[in-house]
Amino acid sequence: MKPAHPDRSAKPLLVIGWDGATPELIEAWMEDGSLPNLAALRARGSYAPLRSVLPPLSPAAWTTAITGLNPGRHGIWDFGHLAPGTYRVDSTDARHRQGASVWEMAEAAGLSSAVLNVPMSHPTSELPRGAFVPGMGASKLKGATWPPELAERLAGEVPDYLIDCNMYEHAAPADFLTQLMDMTRARGEAAEFLLREGRPDLLFAVFTATDRVQHAFWRQSSLPWTDGARLAWRFSSAIKDVYMLLDDILGRLIDLAGPKATVMVVSDHGFGELEGDLYLNGVLEQMGLLSVRRSRVSPRIRAAVPRVLERLLPTQSMAPADFGDIIWEQTRAFSRGLLGNVWLNLRGRQPLGQVEPGPEAEDLMRQISERLLALREPDGEGKQLISAVFRGADLYWGSLAGQAPDLVVVPRDYRWMTRSGREIGPPGVITSEPAVRHTGNHRMDGILVAGGPGIQRGGAPTLLRILDLCPTALALLGIEVPRSLDGVPMSKLLSCDHGWTDELPARPERHKSESEEADNALEERLRSIGYIAT
Ligand SMILES: [Zn+2]
């Protein structure tokens, strides 16, 4: 890869992620003066909603943001994936990613980066000029930073540094909020430390508190008479408090970076209300397409009973079952993971495949789609429960597109969600209250606010795409944009020129000196972000 153009306009470039930050909230709070630094950035730059990927989940969305590739080419959809040729669910991390990240491309062009807490970016590659602090997916910093000794320096500099936190580790919501705010302050200090010490050309830092607080308190913050925040109801200001803290941190980072810096504040998806949980496997079971071994005993207790004694346990209860309870020889389609994925049990692809590829598979997908689109929400108002069903093959392209779900199901406005580890409800149950104490869920459109050299002043494009974030960052850094990327620089945002290259982005060696497996117990990771009940 060619060295970056020496007269590049952005020096440095700050990409600040506010995970799940949503247009309706930042627009209102930039107006009323609650987010002065974000509003000032918009005033000297541009703002637009930023369309996520389908489904709008952090692993897929952030990986698309950092690679400029669609999931069919980078290979990351969810926190877990079916191990090829099995029904086993393995956890997903950066080792499953194809394609270079923006900071790896910066490294190859001779620029330095500091990367802080980007979801699904761990384990890191070697970055001779860079600094890397892992995010969600790493259980500890030791052995997971680049350079390896950075973990200790960071611990000395920011003793309270925490990778993640969530409501499930706390009996009392108030304790969760205190820890969330402390974690965010510490993350801000870590970002300042990386910027001050390394003077990187690119700082890519993600703050996840916006996502965690919106999952937990969306409804409390939109109760009648709370005015969205700051009134007396308990927790009604929780979400706004986090946004205001992040705005404060943003202001400090902008000051520290200096007037020549270009700054982008981005989110991977938006947010809105959560109605409840959806059990797509329940629909498939009703259609006679899925068969489950149900027991009167909870899956957890059953797992503790030796195999030979298992048949002595009572059967046929109303208890929910586990993904592992599916009887594959009697199953033609199944759902697994977060936000609406359906796979056929396909011959030649799954070990006990029951559906012949070709017309039989096509016909089955048509039947399932029709049934799903006919479902109504349980409140009796007749609204569609599922607003769209896409073929994975129509959404994604590239060498890994075959790993995509066969059907991607969109619940109405994402007001309903399917959950990893809770794929199968009690018999006959299609929807239920959320299994966890969540009242908010993701939406398709996040945010992009940008300002500084290379960014149009007063720009307000109607919509930008997260797919274009990486090439846009490359353009701002003076790096030629690979034509092989799926995304392109955002012409409605940029005021700078950029070059193109036919060279494929190079990827440095992966850093291997750590105990990776210990980090990756799937259940622990899913629980740590609050998607399954504890
Ligand atoms: Zn989330």
pLDDT digits (tens, 9 = 90+) for 41-64: 999 999 999 999 999 999 999 999
| Confidence (pTM) | 0.91
Pair (77, 166) in one structural domain = yes
What's the CA-to-centroid distance between 496 and ligand 1, angstroms? 34
What's the CA-to-centroid distance between 372 and ligand 1, angstroms? 24
pLDDT digits (tens, 9 = 90+) for 241-278: 999 999 999 999 999 999 999 999 999 999 999 999 99
What's the CA-to-centroid distance between 312 and ligand 1, angstroms? 40
What's the CA-to-centroid distance between 53 and ligand 1, angstroms? 14
What's the CA-to-centroid distance between 322 and ligand 1, angstroms? 23
Pair (506, 424) in one structural domain = no
Closest CA to 120 of 173, 59, 78: 59
Pair (426, 289) in one structural domain = yes
Give whole-number Cα distances, 380 to 149, 278, 366, in Å.
59, 16, 26
Pair (200, 179) in one structural domain = yes
- Distance CA(81)–CA(63), nearest Å, equals 15
**534 within domain boundaries:** no
What's the CA-to-centroid distance between 360 and ligand 1, angstroms? 36
Reading the block at residue 23, the tokens are: 């247009």
**48 within domain boundaries:** yes
What's the CA-to-centroid distance between 213 and ligand 1, angstroms? 9
**3 within domain boundaries:** no
Predicted confidence (pLDDT) at residue 471 exceeds the cutoff of 70? yes
What's the CA-to-centroid distance between 530 and ligand 1, angstroms? 9
Average pLDDT estimate for 390-407 = 95
Determine phi and psi for 6, rounding to 5 degrees: -65, -25
280 within 8 A of 368, measured Cβ to Cβ: no
Pair (134, 197) in one structural domain = yes
**300 within domain boundaries:** yes
Predicted confidence (pLDDT) at residue 8 exceeds the cutoff of 80? no
The answer for 334, left when phi > 0, alpha when psi is -120 to 50, beta otherwise, is: beta
Q: Which domain-ending residue is among 407, 433, 459?
A: 433
**5 within domain boundaries:** no
What's the CA-to-centroid distance between 408 and ligand 1, angstroms? 18
What's the CA-to-centroid distance between 489 and ligand 1, angstroms? 27
414 within 8 A of 339, measured Cβ to Cβ: yes
What's the CA-to-centroid distance between 67 and ligand 1, angstroms? 20
Reading the block at residue 201, the tokens are: 């050309």
- Domain range holding 456? 13-272+441-528
What's the CA-to-centroid distance between 193 and ligand 1, angstroms? 27
Pair (374, 464) in one structural domain = no
**7 within domain boundaries:** no
- In order, the DSSP letters of 344-391 are E-BBTTBTT--B-TTHHHHHHHHHHHHHHHH-B-TTSS--BSEEEEEE
158 within 8 A of 184, measured Cβ to Cβ: no
Pair (302, 449) in one structural domain = no
What's the CA-to-centroid distance between 58 and ligand 1, angstroms? 7
Q: Which domain-ending residue is among 401, 433, 465?
A: 433
> What whole-number percentage of the chain has pLDDT above 70?
87
Q: Which of 247-251, 348-352, 400-404, 422-426 has the lowest mean pLDDT?
A: 422-426
What's the CA-to-centroid distance between 358 and ligand 1, angstroms? 36
What's the CA-to-centroid distance between 401 and ligand 1, angstroms? 24
- Distance CA(253)–CA(516), nearest Å, equals 32
What's the CA-to-centroid distance between 271 and ligand 1, angstroms? 8
- Distance CA(259)–CA(447), nearest Å, equals 23
Reading the block at residue 205, the tokens are: 């830092």
Pair (83, 229) in one structural domain = yes
- Distance CA(255)–CA(184), nearest Å, equals 18
Q: Which domain-ending residue is among 373, 404, 433?
A: 433
Pair (295, 263) in one structural domain = no
Closest CA to 396 of 388, 408, 386: 408
What's the CA-to-centroid distance between 394 and ligand 1, angstroms? 25
What's the CA-to-centroid distance between 36 and ligand 1, angstroms? 25
Pair (259, 315) in one structural domain = no
Q: What is the CATH number of the domain that holds 140?
A: 3.40.720.10
What's the CA-to-centroid distance between 276 and ligand 1, angstroms? 15
pLDDT digits (tens, 9 = 90+) for 334-382: 999 888 899 999 999 999 999 999 999 999 999 999 999 999 999 889 9
What's the CA-to-centroid distance between 495 and ligand 1, angstroms? 33
386 within 8 A of 411, measured Cβ to Cβ: yes
What's the CA-to-centroid distance between 228 and ligand 1, angstroms? 20
Closest CA to 91 of 521, 404, 419: 521
Pair (236, 326) in one structural domain = no
User: What is the total count of domains within the chain?
Assistant: 2
What's the CA-to-centroid distance between 445 and ligand 1, angstroms? 13
**163 within domain boundaries:** yes
Give me the amino acid identity at 373. Answer: L
What's the CA-to-centroid distance between 409 and ligand 1, angstroms? 18
**2 within domain boundaries:** no
C-beta contacts of 143-150 below 8 A and 24+ residues apart? 143/513, 143/514, 143/515, 144/514, 144/519, 146/511, 148/511, 148/513
What's the CA-to-centroid distance between 20 and ligand 1, angstroms? 7
What's the CA-to-centroid distance between 316 and ligand 1, angstroms? 35
pLDDT (0 to 100) of residue 11: 80
Pair (199, 290) in one structural domain = no
Task: Tell me which residue has tokens 């945010």.
Answer: 447
Predicted confidence (pLDDT) at residue 110 exceeds the cutoff of 70? yes
Q: Compute the mean pLDDT over every residue in the chain, rounded to the nearest whole number.
A: 89
